[in-house]
Amino acid sequence: MRAQFVAREVSHGLRRNLTMTLAVIITVAVSLGLFGGALLLRAQVTTMKDFWYDKVEVSLFLCGKGSDTASCAGGAVTKAQRDQIKSDLEGLKPLVEEIYYESQAEAYQHFQEQFKNSPIADNVRESALPESFRVKLSDPTKYEVVASAFAGRPGVEQVNDQRQILDKFFKLLGGLQAIALAIALTMLVVTVLLIVNTMRVAAFSRRRETSIMRLVGASNFYIQLPFLLEAAFAAGVGALAAIGALVLTKAVLVDSIVAPSFQFTSFVGWDAVITIAPILFITGIVLSGLAAFFTLRKYLRV
Amino acid sequence: MILFDHVTKLYANQERPALDDVSLEIEKGEFVFLVGPSGSGKSTFLRLILREERPTKGAVWVAGKELGHLSNWKIPYFRRQIGTVFQDFRLLPNKTVAENVAFALEVIGKPKAHINKVVPEVLEVVGLEGKEHRRPDELSGGEQQRVAIARAFVNRPMLLIADEPTGNLDPGTSVGIMQLLDRLNRLGTTVVMSTHDSNIVDQMRRRVIELEGGHVVRDQSRGVYGYAQ
Ligand SMILES: Nc1ncnc2c1ncn2[C@@H]1O[C@H](COP(=O)(O)OP(=O)(O)O)[C@@H](O)[C@H]1O
Ligand SMILES: [Mg+2]
């Protein structure tokens, strides 16, 4: 009986306020969709960091004949200097995970491979490319430890961290994510305001019913429940739409459009979508429930 | 049943209290008329009994409870013991007679079987058998008020509060409503009703409490309306 009564009231209410209900559904869908997009972008950045930080290395370029930095004043690096650098790097274990020495000949060879079809390859001579130590760190964020130990040391021309280049890119993605998040939060505020207003209109349009309910001794819970369920229902539908958009983004935009063109990096997996979906749903329901509850407390007092 | 103990009610932003130091008692089973000119405090008196308002000073007791100490969540359960009827009927226009009465039971969570049993019973008590499926706009004023009384009575309250129940009705119809209220009173329900209508009060010869400017100026068993002090 109770369930039947409440279901009837909710469906009546939803139909009576159809335009408002639609407005709530749409704003919830848009705001949660943006929110989900921001979370997905963050997951993407995390995935890319994991992928790339695993591959980036710190390069110690050694002085060659033509080097003109202060640390290369003594001319090309000597064997003693090179051996000292190598053993010092080994002393930095376990931070230093792998050390790989690249001679000028190897550097030249790599260069030729990299720019196979480009005229640059023909213009570079072997002696112009420096020999180097390529170092892989167990924790790429601790780059400074290596930099401070070797930068400026005689025989080392330059210490170069690939991560810094990547970080510029990640900062850009982070900025995009922050903008998406800011828009999403603004939209969520709009959504809350809209729900507050919808509840006010709903409470007003049903003031006759609610005043009779109060009169005959219906409990507050019973009076408010149909309104709360209406808000939760609209928010739930909106959240499902947002989740649908998220799934589409992953399946179509990421997997079918972007990923095939950028095969050198990895993209967010379905696990991110599976984590974000319930967050969106719960955020939608809880937010609308709270907005409705506090509005009704004011407008449906005993 | 009802006890007013030095009750004063001063509404916010009002200089003169709507009720001023009112003390009186109404026994179980009584039928009480509340008379007095418009603005004398009748509705305020009734709203205090329903705990729709709280007294500014003093205490109101109903059914052994001091309403000032009734916590908010208990108010609905308290109101289930009281039936209320108003001048403007307060029916739901898009529900039938039977649905309007059933609504009062649905919203306090009564089981469907119980509702199906008691609604026809009470409609018979108020003389509306055969009109269960009409809507309020297909009924006369007197019939609409009978629906409202059926709704107030369906839960068999111990107390019936009626604020000018005949105020919108012609004299002939009013008599019928008064006979109905009298019958419910004889079934054991305490009735407190406010009215302007001197004929009714004179005919019924029940207890009369007269208010004027928030003061009780007369409290007389078996009174008539216009009886000069
Ligand atoms: N909600 C209210 N707020 C302020 N003043 C009110 C309110 N209700 C009634 N009053 C005032 O209290 C006095 C008594 O009103 P009321 O109890 O309605 O009298 P009656 O029902 O006898 O006409 C009047 O002066 C009225 O203006
Ligand atoms: Mg009045």
Tens-place pLDDT, residues A181-221: 898 889 889 889 988 988 888 888 888 989 999 999 999 88
pLDDT for residue A127 is more than 80: no
Q: Could you tell me if A218 lies within 8 Å of chain B, comparing CB atoms?
A: yes
- A47 CB neighbour count, 10 Å cutoff: 17
Under an 8 A CB cutoff, do A209 and B76 touch? no
Contact across the interface for A220 and B76, Cβ inside 8 Å: yes
Atom of ligand 1 nearest to the CA of B214: 14
Q: Which two tokens stand for residue A198?
A: 């919808």
Contact criterion met (CB below 8 Å) for A238 and A284: yes
The pLDDT of residue B229 is: 45
* Torsion angles phi and psi, residue A58, rounded to 5: -100, 130
From A70-74, A90-94, A288-292, the region with the lowest mean pLDDT: A70-74
Between CA B73 and CA A220 the distance in angstroms is: 8
Neighbours of B71 (CB within 10 A): 6
Whose CA is closest to B35, among B197, B198, B215, B210?
A: B210
Summarised one tens digit per residue, pLDDT across range B67-111 is 999 998 899 999 999 999 999 999 999 999 999 999 999 999 999
Under 8 Å between Cβ of B100 and B136: yes
- Indicate if the pLDDT at residue A1 is higher than 70: no
Averaged over A69-89, what is the pLDDT?
83
Cα–Cα distance, B81 to B86 (Å, whole number): 17
Please name every residue paired with A58 in a beta bridge, in sequence order, or none if there are none: A135, A161
- A81 in B contact zone (CB under 8 Å): no
Q: Say how many Å lie between the first and final Cα of chain B, rounded.
A: 27
Structure tokens at B27: 């026994």
Q: What is the pLDDT of residue A274?
A: 93
Structure tokens at B153: 């009575």
Distance B222 CA to ligand 2 centre (A): 23
Beta bridge partners of B215: B212
Q: What is the pLDDT of residue B228?
A: 44
Token reading at B94: 């898009």
Q: How far is the CA of B8 from the centre of ligand 1 (A)?
A: 13
- Cis-peptide into B17, omega within 30 deg: no
Q: Measure B90 CA to ligand 2 centroid, in angstroms.
A: 15
Identity of the residue in B75, B90, B106 whose CB atom sits nearest the CB atom of A302: B75
Chain A residues in contact with B81 (beta carbon < 8 A)? 217
In a mutational test of the pocket of ligand 1, which residue from B9, B43, B212 has the highest number of ligand atoms less than 8 Å from its CB? B43
User: Does B72 sit in the ligand 1 pocket, CB within 6 Å?
Assistant: no
Q: Strand B57-62: give its sheet, edge to edge.
A: B19-26, B2-9, B57-62, B65-66
Q: Which residue has the tokens 């919203």?
A: B107
Residues 6+ apart with CB under 8 A from A297: none
- What is d(CA B207, CA B216) in angstroms, rounded to the nearest whole number? 13
Chain A hits for B155, Cβ within 8 Å:
216
Look-up of token digits 């008599």: B175
Centre of ligand 1 to C-alpha B55, Å, is: 13
Q: For the CA atoms of chain B, what is the radius of gyration?
A: 18
pLDDT, tens only, B10-49: 999 999 999 999 999 999 999 999 999 999 999 999 999 9
> In a mutational test of the pocket of ligand 1, which residue from B11, B19, B47, B215 has the highest number of ligand atoms less than 8 Å from its CB?
B11
- A116 or A14, greater pLDDT: A14
* Contact assessment for residue B211 and residue B34, using Cβ atoms and an 8 Å cutoff: yes
At B75 the pLDDT is 93
Cβ of B79 and A214 within 8 Å?
yes
User: One-letter amino acid identity for A146?
Assistant: V
More confident residue, B229 or A80: A80
Ligand 1 near B87 CB (within 6 A): no
Structural domains of chain A sorted by starting position, each given as residue range(s) with its CATH number in brackets: 2-52+167-299 (no CATH), 55-163 (3.30.70.3040)
User: Are A280 and A212 spatial neighbours (Cβ–Cβ below 8 Å)?
Assistant: no
Q: B13 — alpha (psi -120 to 50), left (phi > 0) or beta? A: left
- pTM for the whole thing? 0.74
Distance separating alpha carbons of residues A247 and A244, to the nearest angstrom: 5
Backbone angles phi, psi at B44, to 5 degrees: -60, -45
Residue B227: the pLDDT is 52
State chain B's mean pLDDT as an integer: 93
Residues 6+ apart with CB under 8 A from A274: none
What is the rounded CA–CA span in Å between residue A3 and residue A230?
14
pLDDT bucket at A124, cuts 50 / 70 / 90: confident
Taking an 8 Å cut-off on Cβ atoms, the answer to whether A1 and B79 are in contact is no
* Tokens of residue B119, six digits: 């609604």
Residues A222, B111: C-beta atoms closer than 8 Å: no
Ligand 1 neighbour B9 (Cβ under 6 A): no
**Nearest 5°: phi and psi at B54?**
-110, 145
Nearest CA to ligand 1 atom 12: B18
* Separation of alpha carbons A147 and A163, rounded Å: 13
- Segment A96-113 shows an average pLDDT of 84
Q: How far is the CA of B44 from the centre of ligand 1 (A)?
A: 6
The rounded distance, in Å, linking the Cα atoms of A229 and A226 is 5
Q: Which residue in the set B72, B81, B108 is minimally distant from A302, CB to CB?
A: B72
Q: What is the pLDDT of residue A141?
A: 76
pLDDT tens, position by position, A4-63: 777 888 888 788 788 888 988 999 999 999 999 989 988 888 888 888 777 778 888 888
How does B124-134 read in b/e, with b if 16+ C-beta sit within 10 Å? ebbbbeebbeb
Q: Across the interface, do A222 and B84 touch by the CB < 8 Å criterion?
A: no
Which ligand is the nearest neighbour of the Cα of B86? 2
In angstroms, the Cα distances linking B143 to B54, B90, B206 are: 33, 13, 25
d(CA B131, CA B97): 7
A3 Cβ under 8 Å from any chain B Cβ: no
- With tokens 């006759």, the residue in question is A208
- How far is Cα B176 from Cα B221, in angstroms, rounded to an integer? 23
Residue B195 CB less than 6 A away from ligand 1:
no
**pLDDT value, residue A302:** 57
Inform me whether the pLDDT recorded for B187 exceeds 80: yes
Tokens of B206: 């029940």
Count other Cβ atoms within 10 Å, centred on residue A234. Answer: 27
Q: Which atom of ligand 1 is nearest to the CA of B12?
A: 4
The yes-or-no verdict on residue A163 having pLDDT over 80 is no
Per-residue pLDDT tens for A234-284?
A: 999 999 999 999 999 999 988 888 888 777 777 888 999 999 999 999 999
User: What is the three-class DSSP state of A63?
Assistant: coil
Instruction: Report which DSSP code applies to B16.
Output: S
